[in-house]
């Protein structure tokens, strides 16, 4: 390698190293989704308030598209991300299954988020198995399904929704037969069992299934600690369902000084929450986040410190 080529190679390595210095990677979801949009809002409002890293480089947020809650938690575990969006029930499910990796010593909540809605949907022509007491074949009705009526049913999902389905089944003691439909998610006509889709309302994937002849299965009376009763509207009709809170989670360290950046991020979001809610250019779910904060809604998981000025 001649001197000119060697110099260019060294400069390229240096540039790559500099581009990585101070970057705080945030795992979100798809680029058209709520997590990604809200992450960009956080980056705009708080990207300049995160101090410097251990080498003195300015910390900056790098918003990255991902596979959502479950993928984000795995990314936090393997050091791909330092900050992620995830659902509370998915976090708790992973904590139960892998407590060494997912515990409140190794990760904490930066801020609470919006509510993610459960969309139980069933295909045209599907008939429930024996023991299913909800009569939704008898015409138009506003009756909701008691959660216990889902006991022993076969229900499909994929990604974070599959984890939500399993966690719901565990917390409500439903003995569900859960099926991973990842290979069929883009082919509704090939699915012959009910499915669960969890996402912000209105949730476009759920709307697409409804447009393909599927129907909404309303549920109520859920007792699990992570779930709240809610409702969702489609085509002018309201259905009872449940929701779970999204959480912004960050990597935590036993050495307090290592948590200063996350504390600053938590503080910045808290101080700017009303502006995030009122800003016409931010995701509309910030209004819900502000209202939930005003109501004092909090997870039992540990939080990063909000620094009082």
**What is the b/e burial string over 123-158, where b = at least 16 CB atoms within 10 angstroms of the residue's CB?**
beeeebeeeeebebeeeeeeebbebebbeebebbbb
Residue range 186-216, pLDDT digits in tens: 888 899 999 999 998 778 889 889 888 899 9
Structure tokens at 153: 């049913």
Number of helical H runs and strand E runs in the chain: 8, 12
Q: Is 211 helix (H, G, I), strand (E, B) or coil?
A: helix
Residue range 2-50, pLDDT digits in tens: 544 544 444 443 433 333 458 899 999 999 889 999 999 999 999 887 8
Q: Evaluate the CA torsion angle 253, 255, 259, 261 in order and state its sign.
A: negative
CB 66 within 8 A of CB 101: no
Alpha carbon distance, N-terminus to C-terminus of the chain: 56
Average pLDDT over residues 155-165: 94
Half-sphere exposure of 273 (CA within 13 A, CB side): 20
- Model confidence at 65: pLDDT above 60: yes
Q: Is 104 helix (H, G, I), strand (E, B) or coil?
A: coil
Quote the pLDDT of residue 13. 39
> Could you give the CA distance from residue 163 to residue 61 in angstroms, rounded to a whole number?
28
φ and ψ at 181, to 5 degrees?
Answer: -105, 30
DSSP 8-state class, residue 52? B
Region for residue 296 given its phi and psi (left: phi exceeds 0; alpha: psi -120 to 50; beta: otherwise): left
Structure tokens at 302: 């540990």
């Amino acid at each position: 390698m001649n001197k000119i080529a060697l110099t260019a190679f060294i400069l390229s390595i240096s540039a790559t190293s500099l581009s990585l210095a101070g970057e705080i990677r945030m795992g979100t979801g798809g680029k058209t989704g709520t997590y990604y949009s809200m992450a960009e809002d956080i980056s705009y409002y708080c990207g300049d308030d995160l101090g410097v890293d251990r080498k003195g480089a300015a910390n900056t947020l790098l918003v990255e598209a991902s596979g959502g809650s479950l993928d984000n938690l795995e990314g936090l575990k393997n050091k791909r991300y330092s900050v992620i969006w995830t659902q509370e029930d998915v976090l708790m499910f992973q904590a139960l299954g892998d407590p060494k990796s997912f515990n409140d010593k190794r990760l904490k909540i930066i801020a609470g988020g919006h509510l993610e809605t459960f969309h139980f949907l069933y295909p045209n022509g599907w008939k429930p198995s024996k023991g299913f007491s909800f009569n939704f074949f008898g015409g138009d009705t506003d009756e909701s399904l008691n959660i216990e009526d889902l006991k022993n049913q076969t229900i499909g999902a994929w990604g974070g929704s599959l984890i939500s389905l399993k966690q719901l089944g565990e917390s409500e003691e439903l003995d569900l037969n859960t099926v991973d439909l990842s290979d069929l998610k883009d082919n509704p006509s090939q699915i012959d069992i009910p499915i669960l889709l969890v996402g912000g309302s209105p949730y476009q994937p759920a709307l697409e299934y409804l447009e393909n002849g599927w129907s909404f299965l309303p549920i109520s009376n859920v007792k699990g600690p992570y779930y709240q009763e809610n409702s969702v509207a489609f085509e002018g009709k309201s259905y009872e369902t449940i929701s779970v809170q999204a959480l912004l989670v960050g990597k935590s360290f036993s050495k307090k000084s290592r948590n200063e950046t996350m504390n600053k991020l938590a503080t910045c979001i808290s101080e700017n929450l009303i502006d995030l809610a009122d800003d016409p250019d931010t995701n509309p779910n910030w209004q819900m986040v502000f209202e939930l904060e005003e109501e004092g809604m909090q997870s039992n998981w540990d939080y990063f410190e909000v620094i009082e000025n």
